[in-house]
Structure 1
Amino acid sequence: MLAYILKRLLYAIPIALSVTAFSFILVYLAPGDPLNAIAPSDAPAEVIASLKAAYGLDKPVPVQYGLWLWRALHGDLGASIASGRPVVTEVLSAVSNTLVLAGVAGLLGVVLGCALGAVAGYRQGSWVDRVASALSVVGVSVPHYWLGLVLTIIFSVWLSWFPAMGAGPGGSAGWLWDYAHMRHLVLPAITLSVIPMGIITRTVRALVGDMLGQDFVIALRARGLNSRAIFRHVAKNTAPTVLAVAGLQIGYLMGGSILVETVFAWPGTGFLLNTAIFQRDMPLLQGTILVLCMFFVVLNLAVDIIQPLLDPRMGRNS
């Protein structure tokens, strides 16, 4: 088991380095000049030169990447070109808000997906199976932004049940787990949970249906085990795959919530990323992409380590 964990940690190192290179080069190759956010197009040449020197844009690209990576390893992602504030401060504030939204949406999607998938797997061909399958298809087919707009129109404009924008009555600062703040969380969390719910429902349904036809389940029934005991065996054998799929979906929620956060003006990483793209704020864009990608790497590493705890055969075979 220890050798398996060390191997996974070693695998994560080159992936993390590749992520840093990808985060830097992708943003650097994007069209446009990042200095347009702070300098007019007719600014004198000496002003442009001094700004490039201040932000390190006058150096060769490999040197820029090396300096940026060295500072990032020490927790310094530079300063935002548009606002002048440290990128780390802005990204951490946005990450905390996104973690709240993605955590609640992920929990909702995983719980509903596992429940619907298990019921559909046990009742394949029944009306329950058809309803669960239809919900899963709708979940993976409906665009986030469209569903968010529809929910806003119905529950915010028509019924006035939930707020339409923001992360709380005081705006984006200081999330609290109270009624006033959680009312702002309902609509974006439901919107964001639909796709993982659909994917997990389909995955669990297929796994449970396949597992119920395995020889060991038939043998357990022949021995007289009740349905609850058989369900525990089925759940134990399907858990590693479900955990891997759920981990990927939660990672996607962290990085793929840009449209949902924009629709609901939720001050998370997606909203910050959207702002950085339109402002061509290269340091902020690089820092946000790096943090999101590293979160994905760490999440997948955690899933890889947890899986053998659920199924020791995975650790022995890897």
Structure 2
Amino acid sequence: MLLYLLRRILYAVPIALAVSVVCFMLVHISPGDPINALISPDAPAEVVAAVRSQYGLDKPLPTQYFMWLSQVVTGNFGNSLASGQPVLGEIMKAMNNTFILSVIAALTGFFVGCVLGSISALHRGTWIDKAGSTIAASGVSLPHYWLGMVLVVLFSVLLNWLPALGAGSSGSEQWVWDWEHIQYLILPAITLSVIPMGIVTRAVRGVIVDILHQDFVTTLRGKGLTPARIGLHVIKNAAPSLLAIMGLQLGYLMGGSILVETVFSWPGTGLLLNGAIFQRDIPVLQGTILLLALVFVLINLIVDLMQTTLDPRIKRS
């Protein structure tokens, strides 16, 4: 198991380096000049040149990349061009809020998806199965931002049940697990959970239907096992595949919540990225994208290890 872990970590290193190159290049090939976030466009040429030299923007891109990478590996992501604050501090505050939102949304989507998928699989071909498939298709098809705005209009404007914006009346840096703060989490979490719910529902249905038609299930039935015991064997065989799907969805939620966080003004990495894009804040863009990508790689590594624990055949293959 230790050798397998080391091998998977070694595989993740070149992926992380490739991600760093992509993050660096995507920001630099996008239109606009980051200097405009620091000084006026009418500033004298010598002032512009001095600022470029100060931030290393006058050097060739490969040199800028290696300078940036050498600082990143030591935990120094530089300072924000817009606020002047350390980038890592801003990212960690935002990532904490995104992690809270993503985990709650993921657990909600996974639970509802597993329940709907299992019910659909056990009633395959009936109206219950069609209803479950319709709900799953609707969840995958609905745009995040549109659903978020509908929920805000319904539950915040018309019914006045839940707050529409922010992460709490006391500020995002003082998150507490009490009702005052949790009510700010409900609408964005529901909005973010809809797509993984639909994907997990379809995946669970497909996997369970496939397993129920395998020979070992027929053998278990012939031996007289109760439906509950058979269900345990089905879950055990379905767990590795479903675990991979759920791990990917959690990674997508961590990095793909920019529209939802913008709609609800949730102070996470999505909202941070949105502001950095408009301000051309390159250090914040690079640092946020890189850390989110590394989190995605880490989640996949953890899922691989959990799959191996659940099914040793994966390691042997």
Q: TM-score, normalized by length of structure 1?
A: 0.98
Moved more, 189-198 or 24-33: 24-33
What residue in structure 2 maps to residue 117 of structure 1? 117
Aligned-pair CA distance for 1:97: 0.3
The equivalences for 1:128-139 within 5 A come to: 128-139=128-139
Rounded to whole Å, the distance in 2 between the matches of 1:116 and 1:128 is 9
Aligned-pair CA distance for 1:119: 1.2
Alpha-carbon RMSD across the aligned residues, in angstroms, is 0.8
SS at match of 2:77: coil
Aligned-pair CA distance for 1:38: 1.5
What residue in structure 1 maps to residue 158 of structure 2? 158
Residue deviations 1:91-135 (CA, integer Å, cap 9, x gap) = 000000000000100010111111111111111112221221111
Aligned residues: 317
Letter in 2 for 1:99: F
Rounded to whole Å, the distance in 2 between the matches of 1:310 and 1:121 is 23
What residue in structure 2 maps to residue 169 of structure 1? 169
Q: TM-score, normalized by length of structure 2?
A: 0.99
The equivalences for 1:149-228 within 5 A come to: 149-228=149-228
Rounded to whole Å, the distance in 1 between the matches of 2:174 and 2:44 is 42
The equivalences for 1:163-312 within 5 A come to: 163-312=163-312
Residue 22 of structure 1 pairs with residue 22 of structure 2: yes
Stretches of structure 1 lacking an aligned partner (at least 5 in a row): none
Rounded to whole Å, the distance in 1 between the matches of 2:7 and 2:227 is 39
What residue in structure 2 maps to residue 97 of structure 1? 97
Residue deviations 1:115-173 (CA, integer Å, cap 9, x gap) = 11111111111222122111100000000000000000000000001000000012322
Moved more, 3-12 or 62-71: 3-12
Rounded to whole Å, the distance in 2 between the matches of 1:59 and 1:266 is 37
What residue in structure 2 maps to residue 73 of structure 1? 73
Letter in 2 for 1:12: A
What residue in structure 2 maps to residue 54 of structure 1? 54
Aligned-pair CA distance for 1:3: 2.8
Rounded to whole Å, the distance in 2 between the matches of 1:28 and 1:86 is 20
Rounded to whole Å, the distance in 2 between the matches of 1:172 and 1:56 is 33
Aligned-pair CA distance for 1:8: 1.1
What residue in structure 1 maps to residue 143 of structure 2? 143
Residue deviations 1:278-309 (CA, integer Å, cap 9, x gap) = 11111111011011101001001111111011
Aligned-pair CA distance for 1:60: 1.3
Rounded to whole Å, the distance in 1 between the matches of 2:119 and 2:42 is 65
Stretches of structure 2 lacking an aligned partner (at least 5 in a row): none
SS at match of 1:145: helix
Aligned-pair CA distance for 1:52: 0.9
Aligned-pair CA distance for 1:5: 2.0
Letter in 1 for 2:22: F
Moved more, 184-193 or 36-45: 36-45
Aligned-pair CA distance for 1:2: 2.9
- Percent identical pairs in the alignment equals 56
Aligned-pair CA distance for 1:58: 1.4
Letter in 1 for 2:210: D
Moved more, 98-107 or 55-64: 55-64
SS at match of 2:172: coil
Aligned-pair CA distance for 1:48: 0.8
Aligned-pair CA distance for 1:59: 1.3
Aligned-pair CA distance for 1:49: 1.2
Rounded to whole Å, the distance in 1 between the matches of 2:132 and 2:54 is 57
Letter in 1 for 2:279: Q
